[in-house]
A and B are shown apart, each in its own frame.
Chain A
């Protein structure tokens, strides 16, 4: 019974890690985004992250969609830190790779 549980945990961790590593799009919900002119600092900070190819900011929905260079990995912690540094509050982060998704909440 215990061995079965361990096996499940290992499989789960493997799946999450695989998706994280191969993510080519990251969607972040950011709170406090109420002024488009103020979002420039956020874009600058996110552009500092290695592997970020393109940034799309949706002010009304409070969403940021990052396109990641093929094969590059970005860390969730670095992402949250950059958003906080820019003066906003990071919330849900969704890493997407084709049809696979993994969701992590703050």
Chain B
């Protein structure tokens, strides 16, 4: 029973995490307010390997964004998930499908710096394979903000997640500080360091989960980056998560 609860917790967490895969560039676990930087007409993929105290999960989503206007973007996310639980055999299948919309509300640009904010709404449908996905519909509303210069980047997110089927809702909050180690140039060759705080407050049961995260990101060309990060729980009311390790890449297919 405890393992099932832990697995469900990981799946819901993964579902929430997958909202970030369409982030346009850094940081690793926190969303970015860049709306159109990577040209919304492209298709992206972002593989992520998550290791927790209960097993490992690999997800490979395909993200198709479309710019309706300069300020408004819609898109879809379809992940493919492979799970390697510590107790039991591995399983794989398509995860739940997510539709999202982003609307830029603030954009103040200066020389080599920008201050941006956007509202994001996403809806995840329980379309995934039953052995790999949670049978819930998840709606999420987020406010994403960031001040990004060529010297550093500060990012923040607050959001509310509505979960169906009697699962409790979540309040999420993220903060990230990014520091590039190499001079900024284009085509890019970058080495970026991140320190992040990623928190979830689960309502009804009043549980808190707060990670301190550190990560490194290597950008080798204008269409490819590889990144890795570790999330260590500093507050975990459920004592369910030992750590999360993620290694991923973002590749612009065209």
Contact residues of A with B, CB < 8 Å? 29, 31-45, 57-62, 84-89
Contact = CB atoms under 8 A, between A and B. Distances in A.
27 contacts: A31-B110, A31-B111, A32-B107, A34-B114, A34-B148, A34-B153, A34-B184, A36-B190, A37-B26, A37-B188, A37-B222, A38-B37, A38-B38, A39-B222, A40-B252, A41-B39, A41-B42, A42-B37, A60-B112, A62-B111, A85-B36, A85-B67, A86-B36, A86-B39, A87-B107, A88-B109, A89-B109
Contacts of B42: 41
A39 B185 CA distance: 10
Interface in B30-79: 34-40, 42, 67, 70
Interface residues of B, number: 36
Contacts, number: 101
Q: Which of the listed residues B37, B70, B186, B219 has the most CB atoms from chain A within 10 Å of its own CB? A: B186
Given A40-B252, A45-B39, A87-B70, A34 B113 contact: yes
Contact of A59 (B25, B153, B184): B184
A87 B25 CA distance: 14
Interface of B: 24-26, 34-40, 42, 67, 70, 107, 109-114, 148-150, 153, 183-188, 190, 219, 222-223, 225, 252
A29 B109 CA distance: 12
Nearest to B184: A59
A17 B136 CA distance: 63
Contacts of B67: 85
B222 A43 contact: yes
